[in-house]
A and B are shown apart, each in its own frame.
Chain A
Amino acid sequence: MKHYDDKTVHELDLMAVKIRKHVIEMLYRAKSGHPGGSLSAVDALVALYFHHMNHNPKKPCDPNRDRFILSKGHAVPALYGVLAESGYFPVKELKRLREINCMLQGHPVCTYVPGIEASTGSLGHGLSFANGVALAGWLDKKDYNVYVMLGDGETDEGQVWEAAAVASHYKLKHLTAFIDRNYLQIDGNTEDVLRLESVRKRWGSFGWYVIEIDGHDMKQILDALDEANNHKNQPTVIVLNTVKGKGVSFMENNVDFHGVPPNEMEYNIAMKELNFLQEKLEANN
């Protein structure tokens, strides 16, 4: 069962470029923040907020809404971009990321921004939080879905695996986790820092239903989300094979752009590349 057509996919791809431009713009202005992990997360966030999730920016506290929790909080520029474009707050707020007396904090805070479900930034908490949200849904006999995104490096944290055990023990079928599998953290490649492979087998052995896809292929993301919702007796993890820094040539797979914003020259090149991508996509319409 396909819930989308080619036009939808095209629009989502265009939105993803738009969000990437927001990310670069925000970080350049803020002169700080995390480009790499923001850019790798964009496509899945766009698929969730502009197609898949049941949510309403006018009613951010609707008890029946689907929830998304960004466990890898440092990627919040991507989420702010998506929330602003969805209508949770004015797009012009993005300009003030990380400024004093401003809504958009360097890491997500649920008491500051409509649409932010959980305060994160200390890695490893989000999946546990998502479990809590899913358990509450079960108690309240509600049907909402819970989505959470973790970094691959983040899954070094023991708490992630405590949460993985709980989710499968309680058969949290409304829960879907994304792993942003970009193979990089701060000190280097994930397999050099603290080996993660086999990611599939690990999650599988914890009792999760595992789907592995190209995390920058919109169709694959949409299909995986449908598959996750249709899978009815286990939590699902979608391993997104991604490229850290996706969309900006010199940031791609470059660990140096984990937490360093573009300088003026880099900003200009990045925007040029993204504009080019946008024009190319528009021409393909």
Chain B
Amino acid sequence: MVNPRNAYGETLLKMGKKHPNLVVLDADLSKSTKTIIFAKKYPERFFEMGIAEANMMSTAAGLASCGKIPFVSTFAVFATGRVYDQIRMDIAYSEANVKIFATHGGISVGKDGASHQMIEDLALMRVLPNMTVLAPSDATQTGKIVELMAESKGPMYARVGRANAPIIYKEKELKDLKIGKGITVEDGSDVSIIACGTMVEPALDARKRLKKSGISARIIDMHTIKPLDVDLVKKCAKETNAIITAEEHSIIGGLGSAVAEIIADNNIPIKFKRMGVPDKFAESGEPKDLLEKYKLNEKHIVNVSIKLVK
């Protein structure tokens, strides 16, 4: 188990060394987002902005306009909803080379409660023109994605959860990782489970259990929600009999909606089910209890798969 947030901090350090233009901004959460790792090594390229996120976003856009590569971090709630117009105008509309890296996405944030559990960020960012939207699934992929963010142009948003996560990938398995190209982690023929972020691991676990029930599941790690890998979705629709999407995000507007749009627009006749947080604010609780109550774990992926396939 490694925390993707640590991978973010460590990769910032590595990219900071390689790119002297890389700068980092944080809003009084550097110990949680792990930008503190960068701040310690490069204090002159780290800007502590205080608890003032809107100001931080527009400042980052200004830095980017002068050729800097700003990475901006805070919790996902404050990195999107709190600052939406600043992102819209100064970053998305302006095509600013700002990289927003948000932590504490999803309900597995746990006991702080719904105020801190961001389940709308993928939707909010996805709907912005020019914005790339990313949700890496483990620490290795987070590191790789942060590298790609630093080295590609344009506005980008990435989110990870709060918790430690099992390692899914070895570094060399991701050497060809591309933004916008999903990964077929495991192949299968009955159902494609297209997951992102914290839901990839439970999907992989579910696959093992489904196998025992005679169901062959393909697992797609759709780390890029936008631009979505349309070809891969079509391929899954062609080669498997059903598609399930799974994300730690509202059922509205995220990965599931993006996949549904492709299916609908292309008149693809396929059994389809979205898994996400129902259209309500969740609550305080232990992460695992919340994921059970809101039906976002291995067990529920198995149940949904069996129901859909038979």
Q: Which residues of A contact B (CB under 8 A)?
A: 30-33, 73, 98-102, 104-107, 109, 119-124, 153-154, 156-158, 185-187, 193-194
Closest CB in chain A relative to B38 CB, distance in Å: 13
Q: Which residues of chain A are near B52, meaning CB under 8 Å?
A: 156-158, 194
Q: Are B50 and A153 in contact (CB under 8 A)?
A: yes
Closest CB in chain A relative to B286 CB, distance in Å: 7
Q: Which of B112, B114, B289, B290 counts the most chain A CB atoms within 10 A?
A: B112
Given contacts A32-B110, A98-B111, A107-B116, contact A193 B285 (CB under 8 A): no
Closest CB in chain A relative to B263 CB, distance in Å: 34
> What is the bound-complex CA distance between A98 and B282, given in angstroms?
12
* Sample (29) of A-B pairs whose CB atoms are under 8 Å apart: A32-B112, A33-B111, A98-B111, A98-B113, A99-B284, A99-B285, A100-B289, A102-B283, A105-B284, A106-B116, A106-B284, A107-B112, A107-B115, A109-B115, A119-B115, A121-B112, A121-B113, A121-B115, A121-B116, A124-B51, A153-B51, A157-B51, A186-B28, A187-B28, A187-B30, A187-B31, A193-B48, A193-B50, A194-B48
Q: Which residues of chain A are near B285, meaning CB under 8 Å?
A: 98-102
The answer to the question of B54 belonging to the interface, with a C-beta cut-off of 8 Å to chain A, is yes
* Other-chain residue from A119, A158, A185 in contact with B28 (beta carbon distance below 8 A): A185
Chain B residue nearest to A31 in the complex (CB): B111
Closest CB in chain B relative to A66 CB, distance in Å: 25
How many pairs of A and B residues are in contact by the CB < 8 Å rule? 92
Q: Are A120 and B28 in contact (CB under 8 A)?
A: no
Closest CB in chain B relative to A102 CB, distance in Å: 7
> What is the bound-complex CA distance between A99 and B114, given in angstroms?
13
Q: Are A106 and B28 in contact (CB under 8 A)?
A: no
Q: Which residues of B contact A (CB under 8 A)?
A: 26, 28-32, 36, 48-52, 54-55, 77-78, 82, 110-116, 283-286, 289-290, 293
Identify the 9 closest CB pairs spanning chains A and B, nearest first.
A100-B285, A194-B50, A121-B115, A156-B50, A106-B113, A98-B111, A156-B51, A105-B113, A106-B112
Q: Which residues of chain A are near B110, meaning CB under 8 Å?
A: 32
Q: Are A193 and B113 in contact (CB under 8 A)?
A: no
Q: Which of B51, B82, B289 counts the most chain A CB atoms within 10 A?
A: B51
Q: Are A109 and B114 in contact (CB under 8 A)?
A: yes
Chain A residue nearest to B115 in the complex (CB): A121
Chain A residue nearest to B81 in the complex (CB): A122
Chain B residue nearest to A73 in the complex (CB): B115
Q: Which residues of chain A are near B28, meaning CB under 8 Å?
A: 153, 156, 185-187, 193
Closest CB in chain A relative to B247 CB, distance in Å: 21
Q: Are B112 and A122 in contact (CB under 8 A)?
A: no
In the complex, given contacts A30-B111, A98-B111, A121-B116, what are 20 additional A-B residue pairs having Cβ atoms less than 8 angstroms apart?
Answer: A100-B293, A101-B285, A101-B293, A102-B285, A105-B284, A106-B284, A120-B115, A121-B113, A122-B78, A153-B50, A157-B51, A157-B52, A158-B54, A186-B29, A187-B28, A187-B30, A187-B48, A193-B28, A194-B48, A194-B52
Q: Which residues of chain B are near A73, meaning CB under 8 Å?
A: 115
Chain A residue nearest to B77 in the complex (CB): A122
Given contacts A100-B293, A106-B116, A193-B28, contact A32 B51 (CB under 8 A): no
Chain A residue nearest to B78 in the complex (CB): A122
> What is the bound-complex CA distance between A33 and B113, given in angstroms?
11
Q: Which of A104, A154, A157 counts the most chain B CB atoms within 10 A?
A: A157
Q: Which residues of chain B are near A158, meaning CB under 8 Å?
A: 52, 54-55
Q: Which residues of chain B are near A98, meaning CB under 8 Å?
A: 111, 113, 284-285
Closest CB in chain B relative to A253 CB, distance in Å: 17
Chain B residue nearest to A105 in the complex (CB): B113
> What is the bound-complex CA distance between A98 and B283, given in angstroms?
8
Chain A residue nearest to B285 in the complex (CB): A100
Chain A residue nearest to B30 in the complex (CB): A187
Given contacts A32-B112, A109-B114, contact A102 B51 (CB under 8 A): no
Chain B residue nearest to A108 in the complex (CB): B115
Q: Which residues of chain B are near A157, meaning CB under 8 Å?
A: 51-52
Q: Which residues of chain B are near A154, meaning CB under 8 Å?
A: 51
Q: Which of A73, A104, A106, A194 counts the most chain B CB atoms within 10 A?
A: A106
Q: Which residues of chain B are near A123, meaning CB under 8 Å?
A: 51
Q: Which residues of chain B are near A102, meaning CB under 8 Å?
A: 283-285
Closest CB in chain A relative to B75 CB, distance in Å: 9
Q: Which residues of chain A are near B77, meaning CB under 8 Å?
A: 122
Chain B residue nearest to A190 in the complex (CB): B50
Q: Which residues of chain B are near A109, meaning CB under 8 Å?
A: 113-115
